Amino acid sequence: MSSLWISNARVIDPAAKRDAVGDLFIKDGKIVASLSAAEKKKAKKIDASGLVACPGLVDIHVHFREPGQTHKETIETGSRAAAAGGFTSVVCMPNTAPVADTAGTIQQIKDSIARTACVKVYPTGCITVGMKGQALAPIGSLKRAGVIAITDDGDCVQSNELMRRACEYAKMFDLPIMDHCQDHSMTVGAVMNEGVVSTRLGLKGWPNAAEDLIVARNAILSEYTGAHIHLQHISSKFSVEIIRRAKKRGVNITAEATPHHIALTDEACATYDTHFKMNPPLRTEEDRLSLVEGLRDGTLDILATDHAPHTDYEKDKEFDFAPNGILGLETALPVSLEILVRQNKFKLPFVIDLLTRKPASLLKLEAGTLALGAPADVCLFDPDEKWVYDAKAGFSKSSNSPWHGQTLQGRVKMTLVNGKVAFGHGKVG
């Protein structure tokens, strides 16, 4: 494998507290301190003046739809979208068809990853059989098959007793539980946030309490069992406060926010555009600001995209009937830079940390660092470049993005996975 020399970049590595203009050297797919004079002559040299070089981004919440829903996305197309967005490691959810509740399905997913993925893709397994919330999946078998966490994702386990048992097994097998926090009894027929906007639009509202109750339940069960529960895509102001209080007690919970929940509010639904329909729904400006503050003070640990592809014909329906979810991988970095760095004055290394070291450490992935000897997973981006995002020309198989046609600032120029170019010059591979 040839050597690579990235010169004159602003190298940001939160794991090493590095933030300085300098060079990055790669040999045999690993980060090295330097290259010999002879190696430098043979190395491919990239002048990264004006660019930021950071660890490849890490997303622990994506939907790649394979097996069974490949008309929306595949592991191949999803990983290409990830590479285009600067992501080198992603964790895919188990709500496939069939759902990933057996070792056989996990092996099928892993085989497809090995054949087709251009970034590192890690599978999760279900908490319950069929994601039906009635009986525990074979958690030990799933762990042996290679899952790195268990989750029922969009079908939150409603039984507190079953969730308690899941926590006990998860702790036994050293697996985090990732939970989509939703009390289904409070959201029947709901399609957007419950509030002034839903009343004005005549749409069934989805109260914050549906999230808050399960967040509180999970904090209690984590404290009771010691299991690590990761709370997915938090959207509610009161949920942030519940998490803040639980963390002060030392409860073993972590939580994520999405770029779309920190950027948008329920006012975006005013035109009935289904590209703004998601689960949990976009909430109020007060909720949005609480998420930003939660990221600032560490109550919310990371950013994750909840990349959820759907076809045009599925989204092109009345608001009540369209599926929830949007694309996220190719826009996560510029949206996060806009909201957190430019609007809320976060330091750039802090935001990079939310997208690299922190998510990698939550699930114990070998990622998120430029330390010597680490895999050479690198994202090179221009934080200032403005560009128009065309979702239909993107690398996902779907194009359901609220940012389609909008001008974004901050663009990925190159993504390296194990020292090889996964994305560069606008092309994958």
Residues listed for the chain: 429
CA distances from 112 to 65, 115, 119, 421 (A): 12, 5, 12, 20
- Burial, 331: exposed, middle or buried (Cβ in 10 Å; 0-12, 13-18, 19+)? buried
Please name the amino acid found at residue 313: Y
Q: Kind of pairing, strands 420-424 and 407-417?
A: antiparallel
Q: Quick one: how far is CA 210 from the chain centroid?
A: 22
> Pick the catalytic residue: 179, 301, 306, 377?
306
In terms of Cα–Cα distance, which of 81, 20, 23 is closest to 47? 23
Q: Is 152 a catalytic residue?
A: no
Residues tagged active-site: 306
